[in-house]
Structure formats: structure tokens, C-alpha cells
Amino acid sequence: MNQTVRAIADLLAEEAVLLGLAAADKASLLAALAQSVTRPVGLTAQAVEKALLAREAMGSTGLGAGFALPHARLPGLVRFHALFARLSAPIAFDAIDGAPVDLVFLLLLPAEDRATALAALAAIARRMRLPGIAAALRAAPDARAAHAILAGQPPA
């Protein structure tokens, strides 16, 4: 199934924004993220966590400036599943700049849809590279505000 992805608003529901997520390290963060998406994805947390760890083994998805984009392709998914988390405290993530991570955008991708997957990853990376977005997300008072920032919508 080809899902149209032009912007984060096409991927991320407001209820998929978590603020204040606590994690001690990268492994516990990936486990917590996997657990958080179990119900909407319809897969076990173990299957999601295993896929995320396998992707991280190929190279860190810590993109720098405190942002990580963990993602994995999962057989059986028919659509993308996204989740944004702002951590309660930054953690080491093996990011390309060595900086700890406190903003995390999880993206689970249908294994068969490579072209749309690249568009989705690019939409997220483009948004997060915009000046002021990371600072605005760190200052967002609630999930609704963080979602609006990510989706490029005016604050409510």
C-alpha cells in the first residue's frame, strides 16, 4: 500500500506525542518506544524492539543536535506508524555529533514500500533541520503544542 507522505502531519497523530518520557540509555529508550506502539501497530513489543535494534546495529540513527530518528522496516505493516517523544533527560545515543539525545521521532515502515519510506524519512529530517524547531519542541508546554510544531500548524 502506498501511503502519501508530504509532511509530518501525514504521519503523526496528536495522541502519538509523548512528553517527559524517561529512559536510562539507548536500549531502554528503544524498548519503551516499542512498548508504546504495540497496540496501534498490532505487533509485539519484542518484534518492534528487535527490528529497531537491528537497524541501530547498522549505524546510529542519532542525527545530531539532540535528535534521533530510530526507524525500522517491519513485514506485515500496511501503513506507517510514527511516535514523537521528548525525553525527561537527554541520554547517550551514539549520535553522529556525540551529543546526547532528548528529541526522538520513531518511524515504523512497511517493509515493501521503499519509495514512500524515503519520502517519510526526508519529511521528518527536513522539519527537524529548520531553525528553531528543536528549541520550540523543547519548550512546548504540552503534546498538542509539540504536535502543532512538528506538523507545521499554527498553535491552537
Active site residues: 71
Position 25 pLDDT exceeds 70: yes
For residue 22, the SS3 value is: coil
Cα dist from 45 to 16, 41, 49, 97, whole Å? 16, 9, 6, 29
> How much is the pTM?
0.92
Q: What is the CATH number of the domain that holds 100?
A: 3.40.930.10
In sequence order, the β-bridge partners of residue 84 are 17, 105
The residues near 16 (Cβ < 8 Å, ≥ 6 apart) are: 40, 81, 82, 83, 84
Query: Is 47 a domain residue?
Result: yes
Position 1 pLDDT exceeds 70: no
Q: What percent of the chain has pLDDT over 90?
A: 67
The domain in which residue 109 lies consists of: 8-151
Query: Is 1 a domain residue?
Result: no
